[in-house]
């Protein structure tokens, strides 16, 4: 394995194998909570719960490096927190009817499918108004909706980039210059989380301008 390239397991498939040894909804929930945890402290809590449920199952998961299966361990470099490979599965399903054809017919079928898809996507983008990709904009709108519940407290640094953001119960440290929030959502996805949006609004700036260039 190249040390500069991160490999992740598809958690759906990982769970599929694991389930044979550890069946049941409770175990399923425990594994997915650990996989979806964004921070190490949250991941540790979910792992403690798993240990309580079944120590052997906990030990099995401890053997797999965390950076390969939990968001808490994922690198923040790719700005992507995907945990399942359903993008390839969806493509595989779309080409199902062509896959067992003789080679020329198969390629013609793939060409037909891909051309159709590219034209449809292009038409959609031509009509689309906005700077960000549509799905990313939707995610940002959710952050904006949730930001109202959070109060940013500026650290008073000259660039106004350091904040502590609180809802009265929880606190997160935000650094706008470093593009980082302690909840790790912004770091992992490149899309500002609700804590970050609260700080961006405090500065009278636009949340869209803080989305990673990948999504423009
Ligand atoms: Zn956050």
Q: How far is the CA of 118 from the centre of ligand 1 (A)?
A: 35
Whole-angstrom distance, CA of residue 124 vs CA of residue 120: 6
Do 57 and 119 belong to one domain?
no
Do 104 and 138 share a structural domain?
no
Domain that holds residue 118: 86-127
Starting at the earlier edge strand, list the strands of the sheet with 151-154.
Answer: 151-154, 162-166, 171-175, 180-181
Number of domains in the chain: 3
Ligand 1 centroid – CA 166 distance (Å): 10
User: Which among 127, 158, 177 is the end of a domain?
Assistant: 127
Going residue by residue through the chain, which has 216 residues, state the pLDDT in tens, using 9 for 90 and above: 566 788 899 999 999 999 999 999 999 999 999 999 999 999 999 999 999 999 999 999 999 999 999 999 999 999 999 999 988 888 888 889 998 999 999 999 999 999 999 999 999 989 999 999 999 999 999 999 999 999 999 999 999 999 999 999 999 999 999 999 999 999 999 999 999 999 999 999 999 999 999 998
Both 141 and 197 in a single domain?
yes
In a domain, 143, yes or no: yes
Ligand 1 centroid from CA 120, angstroms: 35
* 15, part of any domain: yes
How far apart are the C-alpha atoms of 112 and 30, rounded to whole Å?
43
């Amino acid at each position: 394995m190249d040390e500069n390239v991160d490999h992740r397991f598809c958690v759906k498939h990982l769970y599929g194998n694991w389930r044979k040894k550890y069946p049941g909804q409770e175990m399923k929930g425990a594994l997915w909570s650990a996989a979806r945890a964004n921070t190490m402290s949250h991941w540790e809590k979910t792992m403690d719960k798993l240990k309580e449920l079944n120590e052997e199952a906990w030990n099995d998961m401890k053997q797999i490096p965390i950076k390969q299966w939990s968001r808490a361990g994922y690198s923040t470099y790719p700005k992507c927190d995907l945990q399942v490979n359903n993008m390839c599965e969806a493509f595989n399903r779309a080409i199902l009817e062509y896959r067992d054809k003789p080679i020329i017919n198969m390629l013609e079928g793939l060409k037909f499918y891909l051309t159709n898809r590219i034209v449809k996507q292009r038409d959609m983008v031509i009509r689309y108004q906005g700077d960000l990709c549509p799905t990313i904009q939707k995610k940002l709108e959710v952050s904006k909706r949730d930001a109202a519940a959070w109060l940013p407290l500026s650290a008073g640094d000259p660039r106004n980039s350091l904040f502590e953001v609180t809802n009265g119960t929880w606190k997160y440290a935000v650094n706008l210059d470093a593009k980082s929030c302690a909840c790790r959502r912004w770091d992992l996805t490149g899309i500002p989380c609700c804590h970050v949006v609260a700080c961006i609004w405090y500065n009278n700036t636009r949340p869209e301008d803080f989305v990673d260039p990948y999504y423009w």
